[in-house]
Chains A and B, each alone.
Chain A
Amino acid sequence: MSEGVDEGLRSELQKQGIWVTSTQELYNWSRRNSIWPLQFGLACCAIEMIATAASKYDLARFGGEVFRPSPRQADLMIVAGTVTKKMAPQIVRLYNQMPDPKYVISMGACAISGGPFKQGYNVLKGVDRFIPVDVYIPGCPPRPEALLHAFMELQRKIDGQKLTGAGKSDHLDASKPSEFPVPAFGAHDLEPPSNPDLFHPPEFQRS
């Protein structure tokens, strides 16, 4: 909702055929209704993502049907599947190549935490170790409805982003990074194993 215009006045004006809006509202409205996801899948979650985009669940109802084959044209990265350590640098590089504003949905147990492969030597324990994630969807794999829900959550988040002021959106804040360091292949593990600026492992406090 636009700031500065009283809700009641706005409603009254609308009844008279006058529609009041703000640049921020218009900008976010258009942005959230044409989110172009990056077209890539990593594992079985990708099958559910494809089902979401196909006619039965129809992601086009929310304006997200334009899957782009290039990160330069994409707004949203749906990390659909297990991120192996060998794949992680490529994921971060793709994220870095996406233009701002950009969003990430971490889809399924593997992309969130490594899932059933968490204790494996070759699987990243969650994609949020290297790139910031906006919406997490649990499930193994999540149903298309869950991905639609995540998509709507993301739209809600975009709707609430401010263009000016102290709490303005990250992509308009020059001091906030939009690219993140790509991890290197080390002798035993990725180097570094996670981005310390971005990720802090959960600590267990015994009471």
Chain B
Amino acid sequence: MESLEEIKARAELAVPGARIEIILNPSPAQQPSLLLDNAHAPAVARFLRDDPALRLDHCSNVTGVDWLERTISKKVKVKTVVEGEEKEIDETQVESFPGYLEAVYHLYSMTLKHGPVIIRLRTADRGDGARLPSLTTIYRSAEFQEREIYDLYGIHFEGHPDLRRILMWDEFTDHPMRKDYREPDDYEYEPTPHDDVLEKAKQHSQPRPSIDGAESITPA
């Protein structure tokens, strides 16, 4: 199979106006992916499916990713003039990235036996702008998985034939796989709480009463 750069170049030629970006993956998997712009995503996906050299006719997996709003602070040396002298001063620059949601599609070719080519779609934000074009018309196998993403991440797939919740009940209003989801507070006593459960246990139990001051002694 040709490289991602070649696929990107040919797809941009085939679909005028399409903007494709190669997203590198720094994790041990080292699996780069193609980020498509939402307006041209169906056309690019159709090209990937129908192109005789690619024939990516099988969408094996669709999944969601939640990227919270994040800030990265970097220390940068900045030259400034202090009392007539030029000095290098450390300055922290804070760079903030807005949050968004992603849908990731893993495409394979059954006919040519190659793959995967991974494509990503990004929403504008995590609120009202959490909308993406549906690829169900191109890959029928994406139908239930897009429903699952709608259910658990809250991405609205425009053009999906039957966008309903698939795992949770229809009356449910939350999206449990979002990183800021908080489940209902129904903690019950646990004999050996740990990690997240320990945090819940602390909120629900009274601190140990002070009896003889022994608890204030710190171990050496």
A-side residues, CB < 8 A to B, are 85-86, 119-122, 125, 185-189, 193, 201-204, 206
Contact = CB atoms under 8 A, between A and B. Distances in A.
B189 A204 contact: yes
B188 A86 contact: no
Given A186-B171, A188-B172, A119 B188 contact: no
A125 B172 contact: no
26 contacts: A85-B169, A86-B168, A86-B169, A119-B196, A119-B197, A120-B183, A121-B176, A121-B184, A122-B167, A122-B168, A122-B176, A125-B186, A185-B169, A186-B171, A186-B172, A187-B171, A187-B172, A187-B173, A187-B174, A188-B184, A189-B186, A193-B186, A202-B189, A203-B189, A204-B205, A206-B206
Given A185-B169, A185-B172, A206-B209, 17 more contacts: A85-B169, A119-B183, A122-B167, A125-B186, A125-B188, A187-B171, A187-B172, A188-B173, A189-B184, A189-B186, A193-B184, A193-B186, A201-B188, A203-B189, A204-B189, A204-B205, A206-B208
B170 interface: yes
A187 B183 CA distance: 12
Interface of B: 167-174, 176, 181, 183-184, 186, 188-189, 196-197, 205-206, 208-209
Contacts of A85: 169
Nearest to B186: A193
